[in-house]
Structure 1
Amino acid sequence: MLVALGAALLVLSLAPPAQAAQGEVYVALGDSAAAGPLIPNQIGPHYGCWRSDRNYAHLTAQAIGARELRDATCSGAKTDDLYESQNTDLGDVPPQFDALGQDTTLVTLQIGANDLGLTDFIEDCLNLLPPPVGDACNDDYVVNGQDKWRVETDALRPRLLSVISDIRARAPQARIFVVGYATYAPPDGCYPRVPIIRADANYIRATLMYFNRMLAEQAAAAGAGFIDLQTPSADHSPCASSSQRWIEPYVPASPAAPFHPNARGMQNFATIVTGAVSSDL
């Protein structure tokens, strides 16, 4: 908790100053990293989004005394689903941007990982048997000397600028914060506790660091704030003990989806987000 509080004080916020509101109207946008799949209690009306009432948006809204929370986060969401209906296993979900309005004063946005398929990428690198029997995955993504993930991350840059611009057009009074993704692999990994070999763990780590850096850069370019979750979660990855980790491994020990935040993680992320949005007032 002290780590999270310290990180909250250091978070980079580039949003323009705003006057303190008489109760924020807070809109949370994003994918499963924000929604909290399988964390009790899962809430409707869109159960196919696997949205928890203990995700960081709900906890932050409580902490800041928000007048209203519109939590539009949805597992599996891509940037297209901000603008268009999203199909889930339990029915279609309205575009997330429908939650925005002239009365919106605060927006958090955690999106982009599904545009690239980063969760599937992590699971693709699971390796029950180390080399020479098992095969490393990191060289599978280098084509003609170019790293697939970095190419696709860079291709997403203009899309993020457009998304932030379109949020501002729909919610001109809102302070906007882009939220980064947490640490999913520490240096060298922890094989076999999490069955990803050292080279692949370092590759996953470098890929996510590059992706988070892109999010921070695009937030800055668009005049939005950026909230870093990677740094404060460094010692709380899936490799940490069950009592310390904020992100569950492939076989979770507490109610959460594999390689997603658990309840402890959401509580700490809420502390960080609360610190960031409060210090900007």
Structure 2
Amino acid sequence: MARGTTAALAAGALALTGLVASTAPAGAAERQVYVALGDSMASGPLIPDITGPLACGRSTNNYAHVLAAQLHVAELRDVTCSGAATGHMTSPQHLSLAGVDLGEAPPQFDALSADTTLVTLTIGGNDVGLVGVAKGCATLNPFATPCKDKWTSGGVDQVAQRIDAFAPKLATVLTGIHTRAPHARVVVTGYGLYIKPGGCWPYQPVLGVDADYLQGSVNRLNTTIASQAAAHNATYVDVAGPSTGHDACQAPSAKWLEGYIPTDLAAPLHPNRRGEANYADIIARNLHP
């Protein structure tokens, strides 16, 4: 066969191959694998039903499970766990409940792989210790010294310092996600609106000045998370703004977040089932604006 004829046949074969590839059926779309990482805000402690390690407080009605159902993903790997901090992305997390040793949860990054297509992450609250700070602010004495005074004594905001120190930790986590799941879309959420401006003492037993300080600290953490997400090729999802009118000061039927004494099946100072479902909706809207 002549050299020119051979070349022509080869070119035609390549063109045909390209045509077949470009007209592949929609059903041949990429398999969707969703990995959910994070702490108790994401895991949904005490919300029925429990799945995974008991001490992780992982619910089948947390935002990851609701979102996975909405997106019809092929596989959900939910490794969220109460008490998780940035260090538990790459190191095991010791688990205990009521003083009973329950072993370890593997590093959350173990769930990531090259076939991961979506990652959600909620982390930072435990690095900063916000729930502990909030618990220490509870008081039924309207004349008590504001706990804000303790955390800002000497003109230094200790909680703000913790938040600032968290920023490079989150940067490392985001870099690690991209390394292990290079084809995944990465979504990072903030934390919700826990208490309205001025609070609602004594319904939620925290003085007004402390309510504003606590939510202000949450807002500062959210700003830090948003900044790191923008710097590390991740989508930031604000859940505090859309939570207006659904904070712990509201009626039980309106709350997305429980207060110091829950009125629904959920952990104190954590989202309830309604909150987790709404967070899933908010994330979904950000995925498909």
Aligned residue among 60, 64, 75 for 2:82: 75
1:278 positional shift: 3.1
- Report the AA paired with residue 231 of structure 1: G
Specify the SS of the correspondent of 1:57: helix
Q: TM-score, normalised by structure 1?
A: 0.89
Answer yes or no: is the 8 Å Cα contact 1:48–1:91 preserved in 2.
no
Tell me the residue number matched to 2:93: 86
Cα distance in 2 for partners of 1:21, 1:254 equals 41
Tell me the residue number matched to 2:255: 245
1:143 positional shift: 4.2
Cα distance in 1 for partners of 2:194, 2:246 equals 9
Which whole-Å deviations, capped at 9, do the CAs of 1:243-278 have from their partners, x for residues lacking one?
000001111111000010101111111111111223
Tell me the residue number matched to 1:234: 244
Larger RCO, structure (CA 8 Å, separation 6 or more)? 1
Structure 1 residues 8-157: aligned runs within 5 Å: 22-44=30-52, 46-89=53-96, 90-131=102-143, 134-157=144-167
1:78 positional shift: 0.6
Q: Which has the larger radius of gyration?
A: 2
Q: Which runs of 4+ in 1 moved over 6 A?
A: none
- Report the AA paired with residue 27 of structure 1: V
Specify the SS of the correspondent of 2:241: coil
Cα distance in 2 for partners of 1:113, 1:204 equals 12
Which whole-Å deviations, capped at 9, do the CAs of 1:149-208 have from their partners, x for residues lacking one?
111111111111111001000000001011100011110000110010111011111111
Tell me the residue number matched to 1:268: 278
Identity across the alignment (%) = 45
- Report the AA paired with residue 55 of structure 2: G
CA distance 1:29–1:21, shift in 2 (3 Å): farther
Specify the SS of the correspondent of 1:232: helix
Deviates more, 1:236-245 or 1:153-162: 153-162
Tell me the residue number matched to 2:209: 199
Cα distance in 2 for partners of 1:39, 1:107 equals 22
- Report the AA paired with residue 189 of structure 2: V
Cα distance in 2 for partners of 1:21, 1:130 equals 60
- Name the structure with the higher helix share: 2
Cα distance in 2 for partners of 1:198, 1:94 equals 40
Gaps of 5+ in 1: 1-19
Specify the SS of the correspondent of 2:175: helix
Specify the SS of the correspondent of 1:217: helix
Specify the SS of the correspondent of 2:34: strand
Give the aligned CA root-mean-square deviation in angstroms. 1.2
Tell me the residue number matched to 2:233: 223
Cα distance in 2 for partners of 1:236, 1:21 equals 38
1:21 positional shift: 5.1
Q: TM-score, normalised by structure 2?
A: 0.87
Cα distance in 1 for partners of 2:29, 2:121 equals 20
Answer yes or no: is the 8 Å Cα contact 1:125–1:196 preserved in 2.
yes
Deviates more, 1:269-278 or 1:27-36: 269-278
Match status 1:277 vs 2:284: no
1:22 positional shift: 3.5
Cα distance in 1 for partners of 2:285, 2:79 equals 22
Specify the SS of the correspondent of 1:259: coil
Cα distance in 2 for partners of 1:84, 1:107 equals 18
How many equivalent residue pairs? Answer: 257
